[in-house]
Structure 1
């Protein structure tokens, strides 16, 4: 496998990564996007709130983005899983990746790396939950709340921010039951606030999600009680997809997200990050895309600065 070169490697082909790549190729930077093609929102049928693309399939949105990047001579997209990112002596990085879907393995060297690999998620251990995930049950209130307006909704989660999420969701429906599954922490003060908004708190453990012919009808508790619900939201546990970055010395926050400055620079010179891999974590698609554009502008300016500095160094060196 021959080693290739690029100006920038973008790890992750979601809205953040593809937006960064599009702006980089338009700055005439040779850019390779490496994407595992396993998006976190693959179960979601429609993406909402993305200007000019409201209601588009998330998979179609990614395909449109890949096509736009590859329309430029400087842009390329490869389906692969990144194994490692290694700093090179002096400047730059070597990235190796295993091809997926029959694609070739990758060994490429670049001056800069943009991490936009996003998050992996785990859901509460409820047997039929995934059967309704992406259709009747969702994770992003801001993304899908409007479509659930005035419906009998469930909010299922085991996290300590359920009260906050429930208060937000009550903007769209006054018929809301919060299911803690016997785990999620809701204080007495939180419950009082929720009751004031007409929200019911159900602390019993869940047995399963019920439905008929693919249509959700309720939440069955372990004691046999069925609470009729037609849809709702789940609070997943998100984990940064950053195994390849171990050993790089990237500064992380308490959740393992990559700490960046206002322009997307990480603690490692030459490495940048955008999207869900950075605080505050999960973001609406359009927000992630905007972050990718900001990072692209930063990378381009930094590379120009490096070129100027290197040229100045050469001119200042004594002649032999």
Structure 2
């Protein structure tokens, strides 16, 4: 017998939604989280129905309270250090944080919902403006930056596509490639027809005064005035604790899943950003978590005949 039917690792929207769906299905659920989300620097989250503008940590707090209101729910503040397969499921170990003790538990199934680790372009003060004047999610924060003089900073091959999306919110957009050939000449010409400029010179820093971003300082000393903007990080899934279990990854290094969140290892499911090409909007991640919970619950019932 396992200590819990399911362990949900990660309490963002995907993990909370999965945990809630499973505990409402009368499963015993262990939810483990460190409360250090990737979007912690963001002051407001947008696009989540009935919660538009809610602070990300507040959304997580509300979700946890709903989950913990059910008798089968257990929350542990911790970081999962490792997972081992057992004849009946899995044994996981977690290091406790914020006064919580370390945890060893056996579980029948696991839902991976630990999201992504992001690496920002190598610009010294970029993180100081990240979450306030600079953001990564266009769909989440584009409306709040409408009609401003915007920068898009990145070094990835999809930079032109991101610029196209941002151009619907502002007619004053400059793409900064930081000296990297991330935008082709054909893409530059196409964007120019939409009024978008490409700045290929290396960046020295992002500058500002009185708590507001005022421009992008180039390596040659010129400062180009900008009020706000977007940055394109590199993302990798936060799944080191799965090492050795044989969970298959796709060509992008994300967890490969079927349409219902099943991984290549029976009993391990995944939901949210660790399965998606780039961060999902919060409401999409929550829906993904609910879908995975429904599939896992049905799988636990076994065949009808």
Bin for the TM-score computed over the shorter chain: over 0.9
Equivalent residue of 1:289, what SS?
Answer: helix
Equivalent of 2:208 in 211, 221, 234: 211
Asked if the contact 1:32–1:75 (Cα under 8 Å) also holds between the matched residues in 2, the reply is yes
Question: Normalization by structure 2: what TM-score?
Answer: 0.98
For 1:312, the equivalent position in structure 2 comes to none
Structure 1 residues 109-160: Cα deviation after superposition (integer angstroms, max 9, x where no partner) = 1111000010011111211111111000000001000001111000000111
Is the alpha carbon distance of 1:184 and 1:40 closer, same or farther for their aligned partners in structure 2, counting shifts above 3 Å?
farther
Equivalent of 1:17 in 15, 39, 42: 15
Distance 1:71 1:253 in 2: 37
Distance 1:138 1:131 in 2: 11
Q: Are residue 225 (structure 1) and residue 222 (structure 2) matched?
A: yes
Equivalent residue of 1:86, what SS?
Answer: strand
Distance 2:211 2:124 in 1: 14
Equivalent of 1:28 in 7, 26, 29: 26
Is the alpha carbon distance of 1:9 and 1:102 closer, same or farther for their aligned partners in structure 2, counting shifts above 3 Å?
same
Identify unmatched segments of 5+ residues in structure 1.
310-320
Distance 1:96 1:45 in 2: 32
Matches within 5 A, 1:168-183: 168-183=165-180
Distance 1:98 1:184 in 2: 43
Distance 1:164 1:121 in 2: 19
For 1:117, the equivalent position in structure 2 comes to 114
Structure 1 residues 91-122: Cα deviation after superposition (integer angstroms, max 9, x where no partner) = 31111110011111111111110000100111
Identify unmatched segments of 5+ residues in structure 2.
none
Q: Give the ranges of 4+ consecutive aligned residues of structure 1 lying more than 4 Å apart after TM superposition.
A: none
Asked if the contact 1:157–1:179 (Cα under 8 Å) also holds between the matched residues in 2, the reply is yes
For 2:245, the equivalent position in structure 1 comes to 248
Question: Normalization by structure 1: what TM-score?
Answer: 0.93
Distance 2:177 2:75 in 1: 42
Asked if the contact 2:152–2:163 (Cα under 8 Å) also holds between the matched residues in 1, the reply is yes
Q: Are residue 198 (structure 1) and residue 195 (structure 2) matched?
A: yes
For 1:152, the equivalent position in structure 2 comes to 149
Asked if the contact 1:81–1:97 (Cα under 8 Å) also holds between the matched residues in 2, the reply is yes
Asked if the contact 1:123–1:235 (Cα under 8 Å) also holds between the matched residues in 2, the reply is yes
Shift, 1:4, TM fit: 7.2
Asked if the contact 1:157–1:184 (Cα under 8 Å) also holds between the matched residues in 2, the reply is no
Distance 2:255 2:118 in 1: 17
Distance 1:208 1:111 in 2: 49
Equivalent residue of 2:302, what SS?
Answer: helix
Equivalent residue of 1:185, what SS?
Answer: coil
For 1:278, the equivalent position in structure 2 comes to 275
Structure 1 residues 172-201: Cα deviation after superposition (integer angstroms, max 9, x where no partner) = 111000000001511011001110110000
Is the alpha carbon distance of 1:270 and 1:4 closer, same or farther for their aligned partners in structure 2, counting shifts above 3 Å?
closer
Matches within 5 A, 1:286-297: 286-297=283-294
Distance 1:18 1:224 in 2: 47
Shift, 1:77, TM fit: 1.4
For 2:101, the equivalent position in structure 1 comes to 104
For 1:316, the equivalent position in structure 2 comes to none
Structure 1 residues 259-293: Cα deviation after superposition (integer angstroms, max 9, x where no partner) = 11111111101110000010323100000000000
Question: How many equivalent pairs are there?
Answer: 305
